[in-house]
Amino acid sequence: MQTILIGRLEECDYIIYDPLNRVSRKHALLIKEGNNLFIEDLGSSNGTFINGRRIKSNIRVPINFQQKITLSNDYELDIQKVKFPELSNGNGQNSAFKDDQTILMRNSSVEVNSGGKTILFDRNSAKIEDLSKHETNKFKTLGRASTCDIKLENSIVSKSHLNIRLLTPLIVELEDLNSTNGTFVDDEKLIPNKRYQFSTSAQVRIGNNLNLELKKYFPEIIILEKKAVAPPSPAKAPSSNPFEPSNEEQKQFKELENVWKEYNSRLNQASTAATGFGIGGAVLGLAAVAFTGATGGIGGMLLMTGSGILGRYLGQKQSNKIRGDLTYDDAFLEVYACPKCKESFQKKPWITIRECFKCKTKYR
């Protein structure tokens, strides 16, 4: 008997990060006994359905490839793609993936197969904290011990003090290893044994006075320069046209064309790992994939040049701490906004935008 555990938890064999949260942490079990295939709902919140009819929980139900299986009533599960060794789909074809390290993309949907696991996510709506769980860029351990990747001979440094790695050249992930003197980022002490993501502008400190130069340990890192907050403008006489943008606002609006093009290209692009997702030698490179969709090098050319939606988003945020629930859509909607009042243009094509519906500034 072979089983495949399906759900949101990273311990599952078939992991689904559904932005609508239709899939439970442990949703269902797919079971193969000889040539027979069964599915068992594991008490999921939204149920498991066969041809539109909800099955009872904790009871094995026989299924075949002609039936429509859904988690909740509308998240379709293609059982022919679930990786069972030598599981035939009835047409003499093997549904098991031949390559244990593949990344397949269909529009915004990404399917990753590695180490016997399958991970499904929407690259626009996946959370960075979910993606980072499966990122294979290895941590470097910093400490005094000779076994550490980064060895620092300093009395305030613990034997194994800190784990640190790059998710992309713009994002660093840190985990304090219950050190004696602590790890601080922008003067805030990290909770031990908890992973945090920061933009690369963050100031990392060991104890009270040992600052870390990230560039020294990660030569490929891009240090983002934060945009200075402009001082309040002096009072001016009312404009003859209060809805007319300034020259700088008009310039920023024109730059949004590239933001729209980048987002739109992600929606239209269909590719494979070989042509679109060779991410710096990592097996998955999920965070980089989710936030760039570009080719070449860690994180792709959009990040390597410091441009792109993620670079813009992180550059305009005054805090270096990155929300774990940040998605690419979140970053896009915040960047793709009226230069004057910062109201998002949502997903309206740039060429169609004539004015801001909130502040009424006319850009065309």
pLDDT grade for 287, boundaries at 50, 70 and 90 = low
Query: What pLDDT sits at residue 143?
Result: 98
Q: Which of 95, 84, 210 is nearest to 144 (CA)?
A: 210
Residue 275 has pLDDT above 50, yes or no: no
Name the average pLDDT for the chain. Answer: 82
How big is the CA angle at 16 (ends 11 and 19), to the nearest 5 degrees?
A: 130
User: Computed from CA positions of residues 264, 268, 270, 275, in that sequence, does the dihedral angle turn out positive or negative?
Assistant: negative
How big is the CA angle at 314 (ends 310 and 316), to the nearest 5 degrees?
A: 120
Mean pLDDT over residues 161-180, rounded? Answer: 94
pLDDT grade for 59, boundaries at 50, 70 and 90 = very high
- Radius of gyration in angstroms for the set of CA atoms belonging to the chain, rounded to a whole number: 24
pLDDT, tens only, 214-235: 999 999 898 877 766 555 555 5
pLDDT, tens only, 80-109: 888 775 544 444 343 433 344 566 666 677
pLDDT grade for 137, boundaries at 50, 70 and 90 = confident
Cα separation, 76 vs 268, in Å, equals 22
Residue 124 has pLDDT above 80, yes or no: yes
Residue 33 has pLDDT above 70, yes or no: yes
Count of other CB atoms within 10 angstroms of residue 129 = 16
Residue 114 has pLDDT above 80, yes or no: no
pLDDT grade for 138, boundaries at 50, 70 and 90 = confident
How big is the CA angle at 216 (ends 167 and 148), to the nearest 5 degrees?
A: 75
DSSP state of 134: T
Count of other CB atoms within 10 angstroms of residue 45 = 11
pLDDT, tens only, 327-358: 889 999 999 999 999 999 999 999 999 999 99
Cα separation, 262 vs 48, in Å, equals 37
Give 297 or 32, the one with higher predicted confidence: 32
Query: What pLDDT sits at residue 44?
Result: 97
Q: Which residues touch 150 (CB under 8 Å, ≥6 apart)?
A: 140, 141, 142, 143, 164, 217
Share of the chain above pLDDT 90, in %: 56
Which of these ranges, 13-27, 38-52, 227-241, 293-307, has the smallest mean pLDDT?
A: 293-307
Residue with tokens 């891009």: 222
Query: What pLDDT sits at residue 48?
Result: 98
Question: Quick one: 364 exposed, middle or buried, by C-beta within 10 A (0-12, 13-18, 19+)?
Answer: exposed
Which of these ranges, 29-33, 245-249, 294-298, has the smallest mean pLDDT?
A: 294-298
Residue 272 has pLDDT above 60, yes or no: no
Which of these ranges, 159-173, 268-282, 330-344, has the smallest mean pLDDT?
A: 268-282
With beta carbons less than 8 A apart as the criterion, state whether 176 and 190 touch: yes
